[in-house]
Amino acid sequence: MQAQPAAGGAFPERPVRLIVPYPPGGPTDLVMRAFAEAAQKPLGQPIVVENRSGAAGTMGGQLLATGARPDGYTIAQMPITVLRHRFLSARPVFDPRTDFTWIIQLAGYQFGVVVRADAPWRTFQEFLDHAKANPGAIEYGSPGVGSSLHITMTQIAEMKGIDWLHVPFRGTAASTNALLGGQIAAVAGSIDAGTVGPDGPMRALVSWGAQRHRRLPDLPTLREVGIDLVSDSPYGIAGPKGMDPGVVRVLHDAFKAAIDDPGVRSLLERYDMPVLYLNSADYAAAVLRQIETEERLLARLGLRPE
């Protein structure tokens, strides 16, 4: 599995750098490290993960668009927040329609709302009732302004007439620590089935997928509690614009093979991340469609550039 770039030499001849735009230890970091470990086997070179957190998961996109060479040796995990960047930033660093080479869509996040195990709310409806009765008193954490978590919580608040406070963090691990430390009341994020069970330190109140969490069959979805929303935020891998098609194909094939790796599948199941595979061409087309959707949604919610 090697490509012959125009400059000569087979690809890859050295390690590939994979930017993960979230801190170490969170769900995205753990899953992407598993993907990297599995993909480097068919690739024949190490894939080195580099964490660059902040800016609601857009740091990978910023690095790709501001100096990374389009040789395939620098790629990044791309959450859906990358597609919102130009609508939420007063000075956008990149345009997702033109500044990237979309390599492969891998999977999607299915999020939910989590509270401490000793919290007074046993159901999401109780949580909503408390928030509505106490405007501005509930603080929830997310990975940042413009993240899918922030957007969906804003939609829920709009639909239910609720005023709660958003507290942005650099990643889910940081917001979870704040929750356990009592600094915030809830976290909107990926649901780790290993920490929200009967003996876990947290309790999940609701999931945001179209179907119930595979490992938490008693956890209701938003639709089941009367909120007609589904949040299955897709993510994939991209590189800088102008990459050689042969290099793209090599990287695509390596990560596609990694989807079936047992270690990857186990972590995807743990965090209820469905496989949402798209090849390079279909991924690029899906990105353009999603950008239009995001622009309409952000305009309707009244979210403005910062």
What are the pLDDT digits (tens) for 204-259? Answer: 999 999 899 888 999 999 999 999 999 888 999 999 999 999 999 999 999 999 99
Report pTM. 0.85
Please tell me the predicted confidence (pLDDT) of residue 6: 43
Task: Pick the range with the lowest mean pLDDT from 22-31, 133-142, 167-176, 217-226.
Answer: 167-176
Would the pLDDT of 106 be above 50?
A: yes
Q: Cα(197)–Cα(215) distance, rounded to whole angstroms?
A: 10
Confidence label for 89 from pLDDT (cuts 50, 70 and 90): confident
Q: Cα(54)–Cα(45) distance, rounded to whole angstroms?
A: 28
Would the pLDDT of 175 be above 80?
A: yes
CA–centroid distance for 26 within its chain: 11
Q: Is 240 helix (H, G, I), strand (E, B) or coil?
A: strand
Q: Cα(173)–Cα(141) distance, rounded to whole angstroms?
A: 10
- Name the residue with higher pLDDT: 23 or 102: 102
Q: Which residue is associated with the tokens 């061409």?
A: 281
Closest to 114 measured CA to CA, from 180, 185, 187: 187
Q: Cα(159)–Cα(292) distance, rounded to whole angstroms?
A: 22
Please tell me the predicted confidence (pLDDT) of residue 2: 54
Q: Is 102 helix (H, G, I), strand (E, B) or coil?
A: strand
Give the up-direction half-sphere exposure of residue 208: CA atoms within 13 A in the CB hemisphere: 26
Q: Is 83 helix (H, G, I), strand (E, B) or coil?
A: helix
Q: Cα(120)–Cα(47) distance, rounded to whole angstroms?
A: 45
